[in-house]
Amino acid sequence: MDFGNRVRSLGAVDAAPLRDRILTQPPEAWTEFGLRQRAYDVHHDTESIVLVFCDEAWPDVTVSRQPGWDRLADLAIPLMHEVIARAYPKGGTILRAMAAKLKAGGRIKPHIDALASFRAGHRIHVPLTTNPGVRFTLDGRPLPMVLGEACEINNQKVHSVMNAGREDRISFIFDYLPPEV
């Protein structure tokens, strides 16, 4: 969503329980829902554990539970609701929710999230792991992602990520569609 700024701080969150659960997931959990990697070339170097995902029958999208739901929802839902309660009106819809891994040495090429649901929804990031080699760029400028700090990014501005480190970078990402849309 283009909300006028590059980024909006949403404050500190205790993501440690969710991070710890995600880090115990087996390797096959990261590849069981490969739609993002197949459909979008920019996600070639990523893997995801997806809890919910929406189709693109805009504006009448269908949100469906995905394989990560049963393993992560009990920790992810309270975290998402906490962030939403701080900054957004109640009664909306979570369109997507996932743990997104950018593999060591990988990159997400510069892009704008172009689908209609991305223009209407708020894209929220909660960094779970990072390393000094990760560089998130938004609107041509670096955007440090701080562990334990939730933020909304303006996904209608060009953004990219590079992981020059030796460890994977993992973020919990979700898209929230307010009720007035």
Q: Which pLDDT score is estimated for 73?
A: 98
Q: Where are the domains of the chain?
A: 7-177
Architecture of domain 7-177: Sandwich (2.60)
Q: Is the pLDDT of residue 167 over 80?
A: yes
The pLDDT value recorded for residue 33 is: 81
pLDDT tens digits, one per residue of 72-82: 999 999 999 99
Residue 39 scores a pLDDT above 70: no
| Tens digit of each residue's pLDDT (9 = 90 or more) over 140-155 | 999 999 999 999 999 9
Q: How confident is the model at residue 37 (pLDDT cuts 50, 70, 90)?
A: low
Phi and psi dihedrals of 167, rounded to 5? -115, 150
Res. 42: pLDDT tops 80 = no
> Residue-wise over 36-65: b if at least 16 C-beta within 10 A, else e?
bbeeeebbebbbbbbbbbbeeeeeebebee
Sign of CA dihedral 59, 64, 66, 71: positive
**Residue 53, token pair as written in the block:** 């995902």
Q: Tally the residues of the chain.
A: 181
Average pLDDT, the chain: 94
| pLDDT reading at 41 higher than 90 | no
Mean pLDDT confidence for 124-135: 98
Asked whether residue 115 carries a pLDDT value surpassing 80, the answer given is yes
pLDDT of 43 > 80? The answer is no
Closest CA to 1 of 81, 166, 162, 112: 112
Mind listing the pLDDT tens digit for each residue in 47-93? 999 999 999 899 999 999 999 999 999 999 999 999 999 999 999 99
